[in-house]
Amino acid sequence: MLQHQVTLAQPVSYTGIGLHSGQEVHARFCPAPADTGIVIVRTDLPERPQIRAQAANVTSTLRATTVEEHGCKVFTIEHFMSALHALRIDNCYVELDAEEPPVADGASLTYFRLLQSAGMAELDANRHEIVIDRVYRIDDEKTGRFVMALPYDGFRVSFTSINPHKLIGIQYEDFHIDAATYEREIAPARTIAYEQEIEQLRQMGLGLGGSLDNVIIYNDEGWINPLHFADELVRHKIVDLIGDLRLAGLMRGHFIAAASGHALNTQLAKQIAAAHL
């Protein structure tokens, strides 16, 4: 059955600092016409250039997903893209006055509830949902990591996280995802960092906005701040996967991943998008 596209009923705003840049940034999510998709507007630059949040525009996956168009880029978009995907929002302008959105809670719950508070407006146009009708798969043959998509009547994610640290090890979660399940089980899961890596990241100009308020930090003795879930790492991996998949469009299928990250996720999104042009 055909569904109509939706956008936000009204604009909503949020101000915070970027996870990697550490800079204050104002984000505004606005209604957009049918067939706009998700478009990021750099309001800090002359002529307010627009960057389409599409798989073809991914230019980097180092610690975050970056999209770039017309010589302008935005990075760490995966958390708000994940919330947009979970709420099945087809069209939205995302206005940012910096090249990275706010980290907020280090998860996607802040964005999910912000977007939900805007309400939804139905548009007079049919939704272009991607229905997975065959197997798609991306492998990293050196490490054995992979991510794949299978036909499924709904939106389901199965993820196995493999971390050599004794504190984490192997974690697995499997969710049939609707908005309520996402809000309860997935959206609160935060970014995770190993304490010994933090200084190295900062020397690379990364993680400058990270703190105990938005990142779970662990060392060889244990967790420095309390967890929202015993397996919060794998749940955050699911947040990221859902956000990266949104770069191909709204989807229906079963997505299975083993130790996947932004690089494999966005390659899968590119493969699916190319097959549904």
CA distance 112 to 85: 10
| Residue 207 to residues 142, 198, 211, 228, 266, Cα–Cα distance (Å) | 28, 7, 9, 21, 21
pLDDT band (50, 70, 90) for residue 20? confident
Q: Tell me, what DSSP letter sits at residue 18? A: B
What is the CB neighbour count within 10 angstroms for residue 212?
11
Active site residue: 79, 85, 254, 262, which one?
Answer: 262
> What would the pLDDT profile of 181-228 be if each residue is shown by its tens digit?
999 999 999 999 888 887 777 777 766 777 888 899 988 888 999 999
Catalytic status, residue 262: yes
CA distance 236 to 188: 8
Task: Supply the mean pLDDT for the chain.
Answer: 94
What is the CB neighbour count within 10 angstroms for residue 199?
10
> What would the pLDDT profile of 70-100 be if each residue is shown by its tens digit?
899 999 999 999 999 999 999 999 999 999 9
Task: Please say whether the beta carbons of 148 and 129 come within 8 A.
Answer: no
CA distance 46 to 54: 22
- CA dihedral 195→198→199→204, nearest 10 degrees, is 160
> What would the pLDDT profile of 226-248 be if each residue is shown by its tens digit?
999 999 999 999 999 999 999 99
